[in-house]
Structure 1
Amino acid sequence: MQLSLKFVTGLLLASSAAFAAQDDIEVNLHRRNLFINAGNQLNVDAFTKHLVKVNNKYKGALENFKRNMGHDHPLLSILLNSIKRDGQGSLSLTDVQDELLWSGDVTFGGQTFGMDFDTGSADSLANPGAYNPKKSSTAKNTWSTFSASYGDGTQARGLVYTDNFEIAGLKAKDVAIGHSFTKFIEDQEPAQGIAGMAFPSIQTFPKKYKPFFESLKEQKAVKSGVFQFTLKAGQGSTLTLGGIDSSKYKGDITYVDVDPSQGFWLTDAKVNGQSIKAIIDSGSTVITGPTAQVRSIVQKINGMSAFNQDGTLMYTYDCNATPNVTISVGGTGFKLSKSQLSFGRTNGQCVLPIVGQDGLPMNAWIVGDTFFQSVSIIFDTDKNRMGFATQA
């Protein structure tokens, strides 16, 4: 049976009765973007602090890769020792709320809470209070510790448990969950954790404790090892688990191979014809690349004005003029629309959601929500590939 998670803006409305009544199960999810206020003004400072957090996630993933695989990641260039921290950990915990969230309900040990689905990490972590193993008769303490630090000064630190797991009616036993003793996501209901969907080679947990989707796959809770993101700015966004929903795209699917040993959903791509390495990351808000590469591409687009915010290269443009940006994967180009290319406003100008940063841990681009909203993306763990198609 093919099961879907339906993303909508607003409160969670699903009930247990819905699971019994429907074949394709859809759960209402919560989406917020607190970078941009009601007047479409971008909080540039909060946004750049968020980018530090995202980049630090990759530093931790590369450290995990070396520990798990015994050697440095092939794309490693430099570690994030040069990332600017305002007072080394002085950033407020509330900065976590400035992220764009794609979250929905999961259940561990009979306890239901919201988690952000992240193709850029591989572990499931929960805030203290969201999951309490003492309240579960099926929880098992592995006595393995974990620690994950973020660039805004927050840290998830605690013990790995295994417990019965459920998502949209799909069930698996002994799925790993990191019970954090420290709050790493500030109060932002319903999101109280992170559900990683990358490959095990970058996970923080010991190797035998697989990411949740791998557990669903191994226990044959899903029909296939495929999941599909179709994210939209408004209503109608979906995460489909165990198959492909053909109603979410039009035309053909372009597939590219992925090397699971590298941990990330990584592929060759092009931005306006310039070749890049792209990590497809649902846990990132915009598109971030090495500063020199971003400058080389964006300075060729008419009407761009550059500025620097806390070491991040950003661009603005006249909101009446839509930039020309095409991202190509597997030889197929996907042109970004006007709405996808406007990430709020500052000083009366639209902000381009393509930014440059030095100190990235790899010479690769982190391709997030901006691109997700133009395509339906299929993540195939059976055939180790990704598929891209224009959204219906």
Structure 2
Amino acid sequence: MKLLAALVAGLFATSAVSASTKNDNEIQLTRRNMFIKADDELDVKALSRYFNNMNRKYKHMMRNYHKNTGKQHPLLRFLSDLLDDDKEKRGVTNLPLNDISNEQLWAGEVSFGGQSFLIDFDTGSADVIVNPDAYDPHKSKSSKSSGQSFETSYGDGTTAKGTIYTDDFKIGPISGKNVAVGRSTQTFIEKEGGNQGIAGMSFASLSAFHGDFKPFFYSLMDQKQVSHGVFQFTLKKGEGSTLTLGAVDTSKYSGDPAWSNVDSDQGFWATGASVNGVKINAIVDTGSTILTGPMDQVRQVFSKIDGLKTFTQQGQLFATYDCNTTPDITVNIAGKDFKFSKEQTGYGKQGGRCVLTICGQDQLPMNAWIVGDSFFLGASVIFDMEQKRLGFAPQK
């Protein structure tokens, strides 16, 4: 499935949002379908493995935070997750995005040293890391090796490790100098759909790169290549998904955004929220598929939804429902209610019943929910690095 997305840079004001509707530059993004089979049956075992691997990603983010700040992350759930475990290491422009992995990752074209490739945008991590055959520093006159190494994990279970370089960077007409890129020594992300890496868009305290190697959006802000430090995701099934850089596109939503402050020192795009009245900490993550949270809180949510049947798989709690119905799910975030539509509540089928897009986990390394694509499909989400806040508005 291919989705069109726009990536816009420029035009943003603090008190008023400027709309940009002309798409001058478009990039097609692709997405792998890992969990939904041809008959719409959900591969629950594969999804369970994905969640276990997603936990590894967040453990690495917690460790990065500890190394960068010397402090335990305030959302840390298990102190043991800070310990290294070898068994677990593993201007204005419009750019279209493609959907990869059935609403799991969102990718667009970038280039380092004149070498272009597709890369996934992930608000749950901080660094740009690419496969070894995507970027060859020896083919770039502007490449510089730092001589420093990195290692991190991702939600698909892969581990990337290699050397940090800096090079000329380009995304659409936006260019940056000396932008950090980690070149993995081995292929860490499957290339189905052409994607060749991860572009992290969280705050810098989660970075696996140390020293002066800032995330790519920080570099664009520092070099004044975007007018303002803001970006916006509007993700849809079918065509029309958009990522906007440096601006807010008001044509993507109805009404005014509701804003919630975030603590940038924590690294994650995290805010308070509730699901069917159950209060949660929410980490807003474009690199995640559905909503997943601590088991006790998810059980509370399930108890408030009629017609569910639950089952467990590898330490995770799932629920199914009659596909002819639409379960009542409402996420309140920044004081605004977002009621899930029919397409947001289900993620494949199991035994002839639809699987709910909420999952409970015993082994989440933090006291928070990971809020992924099933929420994004109903909201346009604004990430404001300058004012350290998140904005949410219903999609048009």
Out of 293, 297, 303, the residue aligned to residue 299 of structure 1 is 303
1:278 Cα deviation after fit: 0.2
Distance 1:236 1:260 in 2: 30
**Match runs of 1:134-153 below 5 Å:** 134-150=138-154
Distance 1:218 1:31 in 2: 31
Residues 50 and 98, structure 1, Cα contact 8 Å, conserved in 2: no
Q: Any idea what SS the aligned residue of 1:59 has?
A: helix
1:28 Cα deviation after fit: 2.2
Aligned match of 1:210? 214
Residues 270 and 282, structure 2, Cα contact 8 Å, conserved in 1: yes
Distance 2:156 2:193 in 1: 20
**Match runs of 1:226-245 below 5 Å:** 226-245=230-249
Answering whether residue 351 of structure 2 is matched by residue 347 of structure 1, we say yes
Aligned match of 2:269? 265
Aligned match of 1:68? 68
Aligned match of 2:96? none
- Compute the RMSD of aligned alpha carbons: 2.4
1:24 Cα deviation after fit: 4.2
Aligned match of 1:251? 255
Residues 34 and 99, structure 1, Cα contact 8 Å, conserved in 2: no
Aligned match of 2:48? 48
Distance 2:192 2:210 in 1: 29
1:207 Cα deviation after fit: 3.5
Answering whether residue 129 of structure 2 is matched by residue 161 of structure 1, we say no
Distance 2:182 2:37 in 1: 33
Distance 1:157 1:80 in 2: 22
Answering whether residue 174 of structure 2 is matched by residue 170 of structure 1, we say yes
Residues 270 and 327, structure 1, Cα contact 8 Å, conserved in 2: yes
Residues 4 and 242, structure 2, Cα contact 8 Å, conserved in 1: no
Distance 1:334 1:281 in 2: 17
Q: Any idea what SS the aligned residue of 2:255 has?
A: strand
Distance 2:124 2:395 in 1: 22
Answering whether residue 354 of structure 2 is matched by residue 315 of structure 1, we say no
Distance 2:291 2:342 in 1: 15
TM-score, structure 1 normalization: 0.89
The AA in structure 2 aligned to 1:9 is K
Aligned match of 2:38? 38
1:31 Cα deviation after fit: 3.1
Residues 326 and 334, structure 1, Cα contact 8 Å, conserved in 2: yes
Answering whether residue 218 of structure 2 is matched by residue 225 of structure 1, we say no
1:280 Cα deviation after fit: 0.2
1:81 Cα deviation after fit: 5.7
What fraction of aligned residue pairs are identical, expressed as a percent?
51
The AA in structure 2 aligned to 1:77 is R
1:317 Cα deviation after fit: 0.5
Answering whether residue 13 of structure 2 is matched by residue 9 of structure 1, we say no
Aligned match of 2:391? 387
Aligned match of 1:121? 125
Aligned match of 1:16? none
Between 124-133 and 26-35, the greater mean CA deviation after superposition: 26-35
The AA in structure 1 aligned to 2:281 is K
> Structure 1 254/11 Cα, relative in aligned 2: closer, same or farther at 3 Å?
closer
Distance 2:3 2:326 in 1: 29
TM-score, structure 2 normalization: 0.88
Aligned match of 1:288? 292
Aligned match of 1:112? 116
Distance 2:248 2:26 in 1: 14
1:10 Cα deviation after fit: 6.4
Residues 46 and 98, structure 1, Cα contact 8 Å, conserved in 2: no
Q: Any idea what SS the aligned residue of 2:364 has?
A: coil
> Structure 1 236/153 Cα, relative in aligned 2: closer, same or farther at 3 Å?
closer
Distance 2:81 2:64 in 1: 16
Aligned match of 2:278? 274
> Structure 1 263/81 Cα, relative in aligned 2: closer, same or farther at 3 Å?
closer
Aligned match of 2:188? 184
Residues 79 and 359, structure 1, Cα contact 8 Å, conserved in 2: no
The AA in structure 2 aligned to 1:245 is D
| Count, aligned residues | 369
Q: Any idea what SS the aligned residue of 2:345 has?
A: coil
Residues 119 and 196, structure 2, Cα contact 8 Å, conserved in 1: yes
Between 148-157 and 33-42, the greater mean CA deviation after superposition: 148-157
> Structure 1 142/28 Cα, relative in aligned 2: closer, same or farther at 3 Å?
same
Residues 379 and 392, structure 2, Cα contact 8 Å, conserved in 1: yes
Residues 80 and 360, structure 1, Cα contact 8 Å, conserved in 2: no
Distance 1:182 1:121 in 2: 19
Aligned match of 2:378? 374
> Structure 1 246/298 Cα, relative in aligned 2: closer, same or farther at 3 Å?
same
> Structure 1 25/97 Cα, relative in aligned 2: closer, same or farther at 3 Å?
closer
Distance 2:259 2:292 in 1: 23
Distance 1:372 1:51 in 2: 18
**Match runs of 1:76-95 below 5 Å:** 76-78=76-78
Residues 3 and 241, structure 2, Cα contact 8 Å, conserved in 1: no
